[in-house]
Amino acid sequence: MIQFNHKPCKTSTPWGTADSVARVVRGLSFYSTPSHGGYKLGKAASSQIPEVFRNENGWYEEDCESAIVHYYLAQFFEMTEFEIEGAASMLREFYPHQWRMVTGEIVTPEQSHVIREEDFNKANFGNWVACAAWGSHPSVPNGSVGVCARRIGEEGRRSIEERWVLVPNSAYEARNGFGYIVQGSDESWVNHP
C-alpha cells in the first residue's frame, strides 16, 4: 500500500496550486491540490519511463497516469506484486497501444475499455450516438428519455452537429456502455433545451 507523508506547500501544478507535497525520493514527489493531484518527476526519474508513456513536462495525474509511475518506478514504492500487476492492468486498460509498443503484448477488448470503445466506434461509424440525456425535462413525455446525439466520424470523433430525439425508457436503458444508438423510429425532440 502506497502511503505518503505530506508536507504543506504552494507549488504550481497542472491542477492548480498544491496544498501539500510528499517526496518519495529525490526527483519523485506527489503533489495534492484541493481538487486533484499527481506526481512530478525529475529528469532522472523521467528517463526510466518508456518514451511512449513519458510526459515531457514530468507531471502524471493521480488517476490513470499514476499507473505509469507505479509500474515503471515500482522500486521507489513499497508495492506488492499484486499492486504492480494492478498498475500493469491499468496500463493495458487505458493505454493499450502504448503497452503493445513497449511489451509487444496484444491487448484484447476484455482487457481494455479503450479497445472496446474503438471497436464500438468502428462498428457504428456514421451512426448517431447519445452524448447527453434527460429523463426529467418539461418537454420529455413520461416513459421517454430526451437524447442529444452526435454522429461518429473518423477515428471515433463525434460531430459537432447534433440530433435531438425522444427515446422510450426501455430502449434507452438497454443501451450499451458507450451510448444509445439513435434508431430511425426515434421521434424528433422539437422542444429540446
Residue 27 covered by a domain: yes
**CA–CA separation, 20 and 15 (whole Å):** 13
Average pLDDT, the chain: 94
Based on the fold, state whether residues 36 and 106 are members of the same structural domain: yes
The domain tally of the chain equals 2
Structural domain range at position 39: 7-116
Backbone angles phi, psi at 109, to 5 degrees: -55, -35
Would you tell me the crossing angle of helices 81-94 and 96-103 to the nearest 10 degrees? 120
Identify whether the C-beta of residue 7 lies closer than 8 Å to the C-beta of residue 21: yes
- Residue-wise pLDDT for 90-149, tens only, equals 999 999 999 999 999 999 999 999 999 999 999 999 999 999 999 989 999 999 999 999
- Residue-wise pLDDT for 147-183, tens only, equals 999 999 988 899 999 999 999 999 999 998 899 999 9
